């Protein structure tokens, strides 16, 4: 089905607003545009807003509701296996800590539970387990039957000037993705400011970043800001990094880059 073709909802359907995470009711006869269908769930745009519809409500989009699998599925053995069907369940090979999206609460997913990968961007994984969404860190890829990428011992390069350091900082922040929306935090417009303060030694700097979240109610702030801080400290020339999360001004869809808006079907 063409994702640009509108679908008229045949019935009312409960869904989750993105990125707020609140439950809302879409009304029968409203026009929905599908732009992503991963992990059995559907991300749709209705009246310019994004919503996630669960697999059990696929009929509201004119799709067949997939039968719930009771059998374990073969586990992929490498990152290359992510080309598999997006709705293929994976049996967790061990207990693994994850963060509930968007609440940010840390929980333990148990060995043997069935997980479906919906997003694998920026090295982390967003999965659905028992109808709920979680974010797993790259270091825990083995719990999904995937290879854990070897951690490089080299820095990202040797920028000679503060301008080059700043450019590399923006490049690194573009490798961090929102766990629900498949767009990096820079193109989403979440990074308001990034500047550098010189430290005592020549060529050594402290990075100061001000960023926000797509919703004040999102609990993932500490997780995402921590990831950004780690990325910045990995850059040669940055010895300290402070990442401040604030909500003034409050984020809105107009802050996204044109490329992000085109990707999400908002233009």
Going along the chain from its start, the domains and CATH numbers come out as: 7-61 (2.30.30.40), 79-144 (2.30.30), 162-263 (3.30.300.130)
What are the residues facing 28 on neighbouring strands? none
Mean pLDDT of 10-26: 84
Q: Is the pLDDT of residue 9 over 80?
A: yes
Chain mean position to CA 34? 18
HSE-CB at 182 with a 13 A cutoff on CA atoms is 19
Pairing label, strands 238-245, 205-211: parallel
Decide: 157 and 169 in contact? Cβ < 8 Å. Answer: no
Question: What pLDDT sits at residue 166?
Answer: 93
Is pTM, for the whole model, over 0.75? Answer: no
Classified as helix, coil or strand, 197 is strand
pLDDT digits (tens, 9 = 90+) for 163-213: 999 999 999 999 998 887 888 999 999 999 999 999 988 889 999 999 999
The number of angstroms, rounded, from the C-alpha of 235 to the middle of its chain's C-alpha atoms is 23
Q: What average pLDDT does range 25-42 have in this prediction?
A: 80
* Distance of alpha carbon 132 from alpha carbon 121, whole angstroms: 19
Q: What DSSP string describes 74-128?
A: PPP-SGGGGGS-TT--EE-SS-EEEEETTT--EEEEPTT-EEEEEE--TT-EEEE
Q: Using alpha carbons, select from 242, 240, 252 the residue that is nearest to residue 212.
A: 252
pLDDT at 87: 59
User: Using CA atoms, how far apart are residues 37 and 118, in angstroms rounded to an integer?
Assistant: 9
The backbone region for 217, taken as left when phi is positive above 0, alpha when psi lies in -120 to 50, beta otherwise, is alpha
- Residue 43 near residue 7 (C-beta atoms within 8 A): no
Bond prior to 224 in cis (omega within 30° of 0): no
Cα separation values, 215 from 19, 22, 153, 212, 219, Å = 6, 11, 35, 8, 9
SS3 49: strand
What pLDDT score does 181 carry?
Answer: 83
Starting at the earlier edge strand, list the strands of the sheet with 238-245.
191-198, 205-211, 238-245
How high is the mean pLDDT of the chain? 82
Backbone torsion region of residue 33, taken as left when φ is above 0, otherwise alpha when ψ lies between -120 and 50, otherwise beta: beta
Position 184 scores a pLDDT of: 92
Contact 167, 90 (CB under 8 A): no
Convert the pLDDT of each residue in 75-97 to its tens digit. 333 333 333 344 578 999 999 99
Sheet architecture: strand order including 23-26: 7-8, 31-36, 42-46, 49-53, 13-18, 23-26
């Amino acid at each position: 089905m063409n994702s640009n073709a509108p679908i008229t909802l045949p019935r009312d359907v409960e869904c989750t607003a993105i990125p707020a995470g609140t439950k809302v009711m879409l009304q029968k006869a409203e026009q929905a545009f599908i732009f992503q269908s991963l992990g059995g769930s559907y991300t749709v745009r209705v009246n310019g807003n994004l919503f996630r519809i669960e697999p059990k409500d696929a009929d509201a989009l004119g799709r067949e509701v997939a039968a719930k699998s009771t059998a374990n599925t073969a586990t992929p053995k490498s990152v290359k296996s992510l080309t598999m069907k997006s709705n293929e369940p994976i049996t967790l090979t061990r207990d693994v800590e994850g963060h509930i999206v968007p609440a940010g609460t840390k929980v333990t997913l148990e060995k043997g539970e069935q997980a479906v990968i919906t997003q694998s961007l920026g090295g982390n994984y967003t999965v659905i387990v028992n109808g709920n969404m979680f974010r797993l860190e790259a270091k825990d890829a083995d719990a999904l039957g995937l290879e854990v990428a070897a951690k490089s011992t080299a820095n990202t390069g040797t920028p000679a000037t503060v301008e080059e350091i700043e450019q590399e900082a923006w490049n690194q922040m573009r490798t961090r993705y929102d766990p629900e929306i498949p767009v990096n935090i820079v193109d989403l417009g979440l990074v308001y400011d990034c500047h550098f303060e010189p430290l005592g030694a020549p060529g050594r700097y402290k990075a100061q970043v001000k960023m926000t979240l797509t919703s004040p109610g999102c609990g993932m702030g500490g997780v995402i800001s921590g990831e950004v801080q780690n990325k910045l400290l990995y850059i040669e020339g940055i010895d300290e990094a402070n990442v401040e999360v604030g909500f003034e001004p409050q984020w809105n869809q107009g802050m996204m880059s044109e490329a992000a808006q085109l990707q999400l079907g908002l233009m």
